[in-house]
Amino acid sequence: MMSADARPPIVVNVLTGFLGSGKTTLLNTLLSRPDFSDVAVIINEFGSIGLDHLLVETIEEGMVLLQSGCICCTIRGDLKEAILSLFEKQKSGRIAPFNRLIIETTGLADPAPIIATLTADLMLKYHFSMGNIVTVVEVPNGQHNIETYTESARQVAVADRLVITKTDIAEAEATSALIANLSSMNPTASIEISDPANPAASLLLTEDIHDLASRPADVRRWITAERYHDHAHSPIEDVNVHGAIRAISFTTPNAISWPRFSTWLSLLVHRHGEKLLRIKGIIGVEGIETPVVIHGVQHLIHQPVHLAEWPGGDRGCTIVIIADGDIGDIPRSFSAFVDAQHDVAPVLERL
């Protein structure tokens, strides 16, 4: 039982994007808003952090107070130590309490290890919970970066929200083409055009995707998302539009056995964990009237969430997997494994 003075976990958001995408500009804009006054910021960056015009007071080495009231620190070392150091300092009263932590990654970062640190470490899990992953993509160079640099493609693949920047210096056709490409790479992510004048801009970070039970609109997006080259009907190896990263979407009209599904998912994660950049799905489970939502990154599968009702009339199962590399014929293995009439032994050999 939680003690009377215990606080709920601090929500962590990861803000990522390739070099020059505009993530620091977006962060600066958001931090100027009054609803970000109880936020701490960790910038995992090499060299200048580009926040000099926001610095007000040096608290101690590596830590500053921003005009918004946010605490900001820079790190070049261990992320876990930096997070726990912030937590201990606010606990002891050396810095003001904060309810949200924003981690801005370096432009060359693969966000997956950061997410793994936050969600797998026992000490961090007790005090912090994942909010959402926001990836910033600029129009002029975004598609080139995705096609050229694996880091950029992975940043797109793991995102809960994709924010498009620099539309003011790009043709409308280029913006539309980039949005279409991003939608095919990550059909489960929402896509927003960066607009500092938008009063709802702060929701990019504060409307947390991790709270799936309160977000049926996102679940509907998973169901209605445009299929990425219709993977259910074409060989995965034929699709190589975005290098090694591909989205695999498939559906089944029937409810499934939860024990069989959880075993299939566990085996899939055990075999291909590092390649599974993102797993999202809504599952109809035998014996349960309402849907179950699954959500995971690489080896980490979050606690399933039960929704109060189905988002729309369709039931059954819809799963979207974004993978880095070939992970085999996943729709076929899913169909074979969850069907109680099949012998699962041959499937075990293919997973």
**Least confident among 57-61, 170-174, 332-336:** 57-61
Identify which has the larger pLDDT, 212 or 255.
255
In the prediction, which pLDDT does 242 show? 53
Q: How far is CA 88 from the centre of its chain?
A: 26
Contact 315, 325 (CB under 8 A): no
- Asked if pLDDT for residue 350 goes beyond 60, the answer is no
Query: To 10 degrees, the CA torsion angle through 133, 139, 145, 147?
Result: 100
Instruction: Count CA within 13 A, CB hemisphere, residue 100.
Output: 19
Average the pLDDT over 20-42 and give the result: 80
In the prediction, which pLDDT does 6 show? 64
In the prediction, which pLDDT does 75 show? 62
Provide the 8-state DSSP code for 256.
Answer: B
pLDDT category at 1 given cuts 50, 70, 90 is: very low
Identify which has the larger pLDDT, 319 or 176.
176
If you average pLDDT over each of 1-5, 325-329, 347-351, which comes out highest? 325-329
Q: Exposed, middle or buried: residue 204 (CB in 10 Å: 0-12, 13-18, 19+)? A: buried
Dihedral angle sign, alpha carbons of residues 19, 33, 189, 350: positive
pLDDT, tens digit, 9 for 90 and up, residues 55-91: 445 556 566 666 566 666 666 557 788 888 888 888 8
- Asked if pLDDT for residue 135 goes beyond 80, the answer is yes
Average per-residue pLDDT for the chain: 76
- Asked if pLDDT for residue 311 goes beyond 90, the answer is no
222: left (phi over 0), alpha (psi -120 to 50) or beta: alpha
State pTM to two decimals: 0.70
Identify which has the larger pLDDT, 71 or 164.
164
In the prediction, which pLDDT does 58 show? 54
Please state whether beta strands 300-301 and 55-60 pair in parallel, antiparallel, or not at all (unpaired): unpaired
Contact 54, 80 (CB under 8 A): no
Angle of the 330-338 helix axis to the 258-272 helix axis, nearest 10: 150
Average the pLDDT over 275-304 and give the result: 84
pLDDT, tens digit, 9 for 90 and up, residues 186-245: 888 888 888 655 545 556 666 676 555 555 666 666 555 543 333 333 333 433 335 677
| Three-state SS at 71 | strand
In the prediction, which pLDDT does 213 show? 53
**Least confident among 23-37, 263-277, 323-337:** 23-37
Angle of the 111-120 helix axis to the 79-91 helix axis, nearest 10: 50
257: left (phi over 0), alpha (psi -120 to 50) or beta: beta
d(CA 69, CA 24): 17
In what order do the strands lie in the sheet containing 55-60?
A: 55-60, 63-66, 71-75, 39-44, 100-104, 10-17, 128-138, 161-165, 190-193
